[in-house]
Amino acid sequence: MFKLHQAKLKKVNLITTALFPVLLLTSASQSIQAQEQTSINHVASLATKVEADVIKWRRHFHQNPELSNREVETAKTIAKYLKSLGLKVQTGVAKTGVVAILDSGKPGPVVALRADIDALPVTESVNLPFASTVKSTYNGQDVGVMHACGHDTHIAMLMGAATILTSMKDKLHGKIKFIFQPAEEGAPEGETGGAEVMIKEGVLNNPNVDVIFGLHISSNKEVGTVHYRSGGIMAAVDPFKIVVTGKQSHGAYPWNSVDPIVTSAQIIMGLQTIVSREVELIDSAAVVTIGMIHGGTRSNIIPNKVELVGTIRTLNPDIRKLIHRSVHNKANSIAKSMNAQATVTLPLDYSYPITYNDEKLMTEMLPVLQATAGAENTKVTNPVTGAEDFSFFQEKVPGLYLFVGGRSKNISAEQAPDHHTPEFEIDESGMKLGVKLLTNLTLEYMKNNH
């Protein structure tokens, strides 16, 4: 009986010994989760404290919008505040951009956070106490100026994140670059600007950036939600021009002509078959659009030249190459069949790459999105065929670009005003989530990579 008792004790000890590492791991995992939740809660508390300032900043920028490459006063306001936080600030980057560095004094990665700062040539129609009444000149035309795409909220959210992260300097590892970028909407005619110019001027160097995060508020996505996607989330944009040259003649004697108008019509119809018949659309959308046609001076003269101007939107690098090749092939082959000549310029004047979220980084950061917004409020989004020059940053370093809800819960997505319209409006309560996301993404990446 005694031997049997000893055997049972030995068996119990073996089981306990075997379970001990598992218990330790479970305890350690729970401790880590508790620490992370404490950090999430702390950031949420700080975001609540800074929310009133974020709203105040947003309203100031909304009431005082400036067009691309003209964001002089906007930049001064941003730089003044960042200097008040004790950050090292550089101005005049890509003409009117502002860059600030927060150095923790400890080794670790360099995380960049980006906000765009320019407004649009749109006259505001929303009845707000801080509505824009600013007038300016754009490409030789007198225009109203409005933050009709939410860049005013982007500035305010990044300033809020800078405030919180500066207050948490002792918990950081590495450095943070706060990038306030001009001219995201495109520089005026005859000028360059935006992310591409910032990169050429070295914004991702000294110190070298390891990763970059950016947000865009969305007027049709509900407040309190964040929307993400691995891979292509916004399209590449490639404007193009086709010049069709034929032979001029009297309109009464078309047999004496090589008609560039009829040839252009055939080319336009041919271009539509690229997407409908050559592109595999199961996983990625694509668009080929002709937006302008110029040719002829009179009803009874067949001209010798017609110009077609259009845009290509793609979400897949291979499809982008395929469409570029096919535009050349269609235009030249159809023109040749009509005894005319086609000259294709692609891209025409500017070109944005695909806004492409690094898959590995997305997997790494998804848990912090869910912890910040709530799993039920963290949603996979369909890609959009609009474009973003944040994509230039992502060509150089891994990056994530996310959409944050800015639609009031009192209105439906169908009722929500579109971006780039006079009716555009944002529910300011959505900005607090953006502040928390920028902060928590930075903290999580530093924690995982120092």
First to last CA, the chain: 59
Name the CATH code of domain 236-345 (choices 3.30.70.360, 3.20.20.70, 3.30.2270.10, 3.40.50.970).
3.30.70.360
Burial of 165 (0-12, 13-18, 19+ CB in 10 A): buried
Residue ranges of the domains in the chain?
A: 57-234+357-449, 236-345
pTM of the predicted structure, to 2 decimals: 0.88
Catalytic residue among 81, 428, 444, 445: 428
Give 3-state DSSP helix, strand, coil % of the chain, rounded to 5.
Answer: 40, 25, 30
Catalytic residue among 228, 352, 356, 401: 352
pLDDT of the residue at 19:
52
pLDDT of the residue at 4:
45
* CATH number of this structure's domain 57-234+357-449: 3.40.630.10
pLDDT of the residue at 14:
47
CB-CB contact of 260 with 243 (8 Å):
no
pLDDT of the residue at 123:
98
Please give the Cα distance from 317 to 367 (Å, whole number). 28
CB-CB contact of 393 with 357 (8 Å):
no
Please give the Cα distance from 412 to 421 (Å, whole number). 17
Known catalytic residue: 71? no
Known catalytic residue: 253? no
pLDDT of the residue at 281:
87
Which stretches of the chain score pLDDT less than 50? 2-4, 7, 9, 12, 14-16, 28
Q: Measured between alpha carbons, how far is residue 49 from residues 52, 126, 164, 214 in Å?
A: 7, 28, 10, 22
Please give the Cα distance from 320 to 354 (Å, whole number). 9
